[in-house]
Structure 1
Amino acid sequence: MRTIDLRDRSSAPVGERPLRIALVTGTTRARPHVVHTLALAEALARLGQDVTVWGLGRGAGAGFFRHVSPAVTLHVVPVAEDLALPAPARTAAAVETLRGVFRPQDYDIVHAQDAVAAGAVGPCVRTVHDLDGALPGPADAYASVCLTATTAGRLQGTSATSATVIPQGVDAARFAAAADESDPVATAARRSWRSRLGRFVLAVGPVEERFRTLELVEAFAALGPELEDVRLVLACPSPALDDPAYRTLVDARAGALGVRPLVLAAVPEDEMPALVAAACAFAVACADDCTGPALEALAAGVPVVLPDAPQVRETFAGSVAFAGSPAAMAWELGELVHAPDAAMRRAGRALAARHTWEAAAAAHVGLYRRFAGPSDRVLSLSQGAGAATP
């Protein structure tokens, strides 16, 4: 396992030609790995690399969920999605669709960001964002990247595959600016959200089992009566990401508990920083997808409660509160809303400021240059090393 410190910018050699890099995802929707992909692509482009992002677009006119810098080339491949088919059949069809149009020989480096992309593109660098369910990725990934050493260790324990650790980046300045009390525009934007929502605890993500929305509702129901004026707000990037059956279950449970969470669907990307900065606290129940949203909240100076899991503690120890159950989350939220910890907030801001996308991109370039070259060299690397370790 090799860990790259985001403050170390020396890994990108100077004077070499820009790399032709393809970042590939199996969707264009606002999933955490797609959020990661687009931010990484833009940071790579700012470093002078030639970056193209590929994604499978589901639905008529589907594109990436947000505007992407024109310095990044985009290829959206339309894919029909028959929801009557079982999930494995839909995944296989998506892999075949992408495989039919993607040309790996056009790039020095192909970097797959999820299992669909990895199954379609052949030899590649593969980011393993989490190990939920079956082991992701194909055997011909010649280098693996993980966001934490904990995930890298689990990957190696499951598949004997080592990984380079490159932590998540965040646009901390954007969220810090939204919390700037000396900026009248930022102050007005925060006040606008508070006038609409009152005092609120914020969670970001779709209503689905993976994000454990039900646990958030149960935690909120356990808050004491002294917080009855605080509401739970769920900001979903897109209604298409919600799981209808799970949403029905959550609504029924919320009704039984007397909780009325407010779901904000499709919050515009440029309004998210003000929404985050206006919150009393920020909560995440899913350990595998918390890093980006939590860093954004910390950059805005908002107190954060996260699941108590090793990969979460690795990144956030000392800057957030941890909770191992809905009851524990309710306790921590109550404490943070009543009396935010000033030292913890300072630590959170400092943590977010260290996690820059520019440093993450430089670390990726350093990794890429170890493997970039003619396609026959990449093929020989993958055939000789299996899932090779950097």
Structure 2
Amino acid sequence: MGNDKALQLTLETFQGASDLAVNMFLNAAAKRTLQAWRPYLGFAPGIWEAILSNPINKKTLDFVFRRKAELADFIIDLIEPVKRFVRSDSDERTTVCDLNAFNELDLTKPMNRHASMCQIQRLLKSIVSILHGRDQDKSLADFVMDTRLDSDCDDAITDVIQDSIGTNTPETWFFINGIAGESQWLKLALDKLKARFGQGDKDLGTITGIFNRGDGILWDLIECAGQRCAENGTDTDNVIQRTKSSQKAESLLKDELLKALTKERAKPENEQDPVIVIAHSQGCLLLRLVLEELASDPRDLAIMQKSLMVFTFGNPSVDWEIHKSCNHTEHYANEKDFVAWLGVLRQDDDDSSGRFHYENLINKGKKGHLFGAHYDLEEGAYECVSHKGERSRLFTGK
């Protein structure tokens, strides 16, 4: 009976407590629970603390918690392409949907199934890497993320994919993919760009795909948390700097872009051609890091301002001051892309979105974040948010 009376007294005390007292108790209990479990969580507590050390991420988490319903809708919309954009009463034998030509989640295609399974495997491997070393005294300095799979191709095959864009001018094009990257989906993105911007039979221009291999959706999001702001300077940077796949993609993009800019600089000024870079999602963050590094060299900065044209899709970066170092920049976003809300479409008390100048182009009412399945490549789909009201130079080619 003693235990029953103690339990009853505890319940009565808890029920009679104020809301503030209950919240303080629950917070203390949660904190103590995490302390008890810390030896079994590997690097997770340190990674979480590094993320929170960035003021931008604290604001982002607050924004996400306040927009839980919109986030749920976004996740629902994100997996909509699995259904191949057909109605439930459609006849599979006769239904043909053009939207599936570049749909990353069209699982009727074997390589899309392969890529999806790779992402699941990478997610599991990333969790194992984070939890590795439990019961051991290890710091973030010991952390290494590696989610390579036995089915991954040789680096030389998958890191750079080059093809003809088929334009009528000798332009050099680049594309770098976003989170959850698989080589199959990079190829789909290149095919989509070639189908839209390739003109005629003259194979004068080239397009180079820079492969930003994903490490599972969880770790890719953690990486983005450390790459979204140019001035974060937190422990998050130290964490992502040890991610081989992200480092390699950034290095490849820098090398390939520098070669193209150097080639243009060697030409007479009146014969220089545009260097066009298209980036999606996390690829935008890696691109910004590369451009900031290149712009530190006056010689590279001069040719960037002369020839470099940048176009981003679903950009999660919270600033883009680097646009001053380029000839032209445009940011494309679906109006209901939650990732873009955290970046180019960001609106908060600081109104940081103002740092994006005036080149945002918004697809009104459009949902989703996937480059192949969700983003249109038609000028008429976007409304230019510009005080100048200029037309898109990506589509006009001017």
Q: Shared fold by TM > 0.5?
A: no
Q: Choose between structure 1 and 2: higher strand proportion.
A: 1
* TM-score after normalising by structure 2: 0.29
Larger relative contact order, structure 1 or 2 (CA cutoff 8 Å, min sep 6): 1
* TM-score after normalising by structure 1: 0.29
Higher CA-based Rg: 2
